[in-house]
Amino acid sequence: MLGKTAGGLYWMFRFLERCENTARLVEAGFRIALTRSNDPVSEWKSVVSTAGARSNYDAKYDTYEAAYVVDFLLRDTANPSSALSAVEKARTNARMVRTALTTEVWEAVNEGWMGIKETLKSPIKETDLPAVLGEIRRHSALVRGALHGTMLRNDIYDFTQIGLALERADNTARIIDVKYYTLLPSASFVGSTLDNVQWETILRSVSAHRSFRWLNDENMTPSSVADFLILDPRFPRSLSFCSRILEESLGFLAKDYGARFTCHDMISAQRDKLREHTIATIFDEGLHQFITAYIDDINAIGQQIEKDYRFIG
Amino acid sequence: MDLERRHFDEMLLSSDGVRAPYAEYQRWFANEDPSRLAKKSKEAEAFFRRTGITFNVYGQAAAQERLIPFDLIPRIIANREWTKLSKGITQRVCAINAFLHDIYHRQEILRAGIVPTELISRNEAFLPQMIGFTPPGKVYTHIVGTDLVRTGEDDFYVLEDNARTPSGVSYMLENRETMLHMFPELFSQIKVQRVSDYPKNLRRSLAACAPDRCVGKPTVAILTPGIHNSAYFEHSFLADQMGVELVEGHDLMVVDGHIAMRTTKGYKTIDVLYRRVDDEYLDPLNFNPDSMLGVPGIMDVYRAGNITIANAPGTGISDDKAIYSYMPDIIEFYTGEKAILKNVETWRCSEPDSLAYVLEHLPELVVKEVHGSGGYGMLVGPAASKKELSTFAAKLRRNPSNYIAQPTLSLSTVPIFAKKGLAPRHVDLRPFALVSPKGVDITPGGLTRVALKAGSLVVNSSQGGGTKDTWVLED
């Protein structure tokens, strides 16, 4: 496979995942803004931070109004990680690697791009927002489904999974990072509606509120939420899960190509680190420090993969 | 309507019937509900959009992707007609290869005084880098897309030879796919020759042209200028259909005297490069130094016999429209036979007498740039306004040798499916020929382009033309 193709597959799935994550963030923000007990401005602000778009946003707007934030995160092409920018880039990468995709996957991406572009043509009215966000997630699911059902499990598939897992890990980690203070055990908050709403938002922004309930009954404590998002091996957006997918996919490549590179050692080291921790030791060490280190690791691994597999010359 | 009747229609006779090749189709068509067909037509468009069969139009906003309109009435050619066409194309393609070899070697045709020397020596499409070099397998034009037009029952003309990098073959394939998808019943009733072997044949033909010293199965790749090129869809489509890599210049470099592509496992040698990048941009070390699309040093690898470039650099000279005017003589010179397919009468504006004639008859003529393609920069006299004519005449006087002129041919028509029923529109035909040391292989059919505006003679997709599926019947 061409190095460029591997890079195209990787970025295609990073951007697809980013598009979906952005939609989910907006959805969580929208819900919390609807609950009056809260401060919507700071809520939208943290949504923009989580999307990694603070500086771009502040350059354009002075206030964190729902309509502005929603528009900026979904439609604004000046925002490189808006849903529209992301789907556009995903589709451009898909065109570049067209020969590596099955017709089903290509058509799902192309149709998703056509549909989302059409839907986001004009500003979204508040009443239409849930339907629009639903459509974005649906397109994303269609691509994943086509991928799952039609692609050979070879190096092409591995690079898609690597892109997806990296983006997802980065996204979950950033959600935790922006909200880490609400997850810190603090006597004054416990049991208040405020922190419950906060945790609920966090879970919603990774589509995990239901899964969490199934696993934890009524026991919603900061440490159980953090444990779930970081260490639960069953939850497909937890850091532990994403790191496992990364290590596995890189492992398949190593076996397929008969060669291990630096990126393999890096991901193994990261997984070892995750395995050594419990949520208690993470809190002891400092949640914020732990997450920041994780994000740095993940980004370094991404850059190493680009080098090891010759994405660019 | 009277005006339309002066043209030869390939389907409808001036009496009520249809021409023989369309007889069975007409029987089917007469029983179809027009509203069902209109729905099918919409379906086809959605299908093209979904599969991404689009092209980019130069000079429009970036990333503009447009569909080439597809018309669902097929263009049907009888087997007998096709046999003659395919013989004529084979003859022409062989003569062009012999001509190219000759002008880059002994130049016998110039010595014999058949083609004027200055037409070659002063031609920018003539590449000195190719002098004395013979491409692997002695093949210059691996893929040719001859443009043909028809004016009557037995009157086919070659309009252009397109021996450089003809495009459009993906539409030939996708138009057929679309028809099979929409009207499967038609293909069980009417025996139409297959076009779907083209990608397999292309790969085989390219592999057969691999350098002599290539051992084992040759590695073939397609070189594209990138996703912003107007024909990018076709490049990726062909790579996909052939099962070969689609590379860009920055994926390639010279490694140990070979061209190699950067893969996830290191560099891998390419034996045959089907390039869809123009000569000028192919090698910044040997041609345009600013090119980002090519591979520095590829010409040196080529001349050392370590890669096949298809089509060979320097073939563009045979697409020169002034050279075209000598084609009947060129064919006779190399094959010893009369040309089977007719050339359109051509005035070379470089010649004072011709220029005078052309200026005097401008409103009746079609004037083209000698290196032009894609319908850009041409004048269709009968369709031009007084002002356009006088502007063009000034251009002609300023640089006569840049132009040739041809009579406005009364191109045949084939009906399109319009809102008000069948409506005749002018068409041309571009069959695709593959050349290797093993012979010339022409896919039965080709790309039929159709002018969608009533009376218009310009069929180019960049100028708003559409396409039709082209059927060659089995018997």
Strands (E), chain A: none
Nearest by CB to residue A110, choosing from B52, B227, B236, is: B52
A156 within a domain of the structure (yes/no): no
pLDDT of residue A32: 77
Mean pLDDT for chain A overall: 91
Question: What SS3 class is residue B260?
Answer: strand
pLDDT for B407-442, tens place per residue?
Answer: 999 899 999 998 888 999 999 999 999 999 999 999
Q: In degrees rounded to 5, what are phi and psi of residue B269?
A: -70, 140
A158 within a domain of the structure (yes/no): no
Q: Output the six-digit token pair for B266.
A: 């290191």
How far CA B378 is from CA of B63, B266, B463, in Å, comes to: 26, 47, 11
- Give contacts of B52 with chain A, Cβ < 8 Å: 95, 98, 106, 110
Region A163-186: mean pLDDT is 86
pLDDT of residue B122: 83
pLDDT of residue B14: 80
Instruction: Please tell me whether residues A169 and A272 are part of one structural domain.
Output: yes
Instruction: Please tell me whether residues A76 and A20 are part of one structural domain.
Output: yes
A205 within a domain of the structure (yes/no): yes
Instruction: Please tell me whether residues A146 and A169 are part of one structural domain.
Output: no
DSSP state of A175: H
Instruction: Please tell me whether residues A36 and A125 are part of one structural domain.
Output: yes
Pairs from B375-384 (Cβ < 8 Å, separation ≥ 24): B375/B458, B375/B459, B375/B460, B375/B462, B375/B463, B376/B462, B380/B408, B380/B457, B380/B458, B381/B408, B382/B408, B383/B456, B383/B457
Does the beta-carbon distance from A2 to B240 stay under 8 Å?
no
pLDDT of residue B338: 97
Of A106, A128, A151, the one marking the end of a domain is A151
Count contacts between A and B (CB, < 8 Å).
63
A157 within a domain of the structure (yes/no): no
Instruction: Please tell me whether residues A97 and A172 are part of one structural domain.
Output: no
pLDDT of residue B94: 97
pLDDT of residue B438: 95
A185 within a domain of the structure (yes/no): yes
Instruction: Please tell me whether residues A139 and A239 are part of one structural domain.
Output: no
What domains are there in chain B, each with its CATH number? 2-343+409-472 (no CATH), 347-407 (3.30.1490.270)
Other beta carbons within 10 angstroms of residue B361's beta carbon come to: 13
Instruction: Please tell me whether residues A130 and A183 are part of one structural domain.
Output: no
Of A106, A123, A151, the one marking the end of a domain is A151
Query: Which range, A196-200, A205-209, B5-9, has the best average confidence (pLDDT)?
Result: A205-209
* Residue A191: pLDDT over 70: no
A227 within a domain of the structure (yes/no): yes
User: What is the rounded distance in angstroms from the CA atom of residue B473 to the CA atom of residue B475?
Assistant: 6
Question: Count of domains in chain A?
Answer: 2
A160 within a domain of the structure (yes/no): no
pLDDT of residue A258: 95
Other beta carbons within 10 angstroms of residue B266's beta carbon come to: 13
Which of 231-270 (B) contact A at CB < 8 A?
232, 236-237, 239-240, 245-248, 250-251, 253, 261-266
Does the beta-carbon distance from A3 to B263 stay under 8 Å?
yes
Instruction: Please tell me whether residues A218 and A120 are part of one structural domain.
Output: no
Instruction: Please tell me whether residues A1 and A50 are part of one structural domain.
Output: yes
Region A228-247: mean pLDDT is 96
Nearest by CB to residue A114, choosing from B49, B251, B264, is: B49
Lowest mean pLDDT among A28-42, A89-103, A218-232, B110-124: A28-42
Instruction: Please tell me whether residues A54 and A145 are part of one structural domain.
Output: yes
Using 50 as the pLDDT threshold, list the residues of chain B that sit under it: 1-5, 59-63
Nearest by CB to residue A92, choosing from B227, B237, B245, is: B227
Our CA-based measurement puts residue A96 at a distance from the nearest CA of chain B, in whole angstroms, of 6
How far CA B163 is from CA of B129, B195, B320, B350, B435, in Å, comes to: 18, 20, 10, 23, 11
pLDDT of residue B4: 45
Domain that holds residue A300: 165-313
Nearest by CB to residue B246, choosing from A6, A99, A110, is: A99
pLDDT for A16-46, tens place per residue?
Answer: 999 999 999 998 888 877 776 667 888 888 8
Q: In degrees rounded to 5, what are phi and psi of residue B252?
A: -115, 150
Q: How far is CA B31 from the centre of its chain?
A: 36
pLDDT of residue B3: 44
Region A266-277: mean pLDDT is 96
User: What is the rounded distance in angstroms from the CA atom of residue A208 to the CA atom of residue A219?
Assistant: 15
Q: Which of A95, A106, A110, A263 to mutate to test the interface with B (most CBs of B within 10 A)?
A: A95
Instruction: Please tell me whether residues A135 and A231 are part of one structural domain.
Output: no
A280 within a domain of the structure (yes/no): yes
Of A119, A151, A183, the one marking the end of a domain is A151
User: What is the rounded distance in angstroms from the CA atom of residue B80 to the CA atom of residue B68?
Assistant: 30
Instruction: Please tell me whether residues A79 and A170 are part of one structural domain.
Output: no
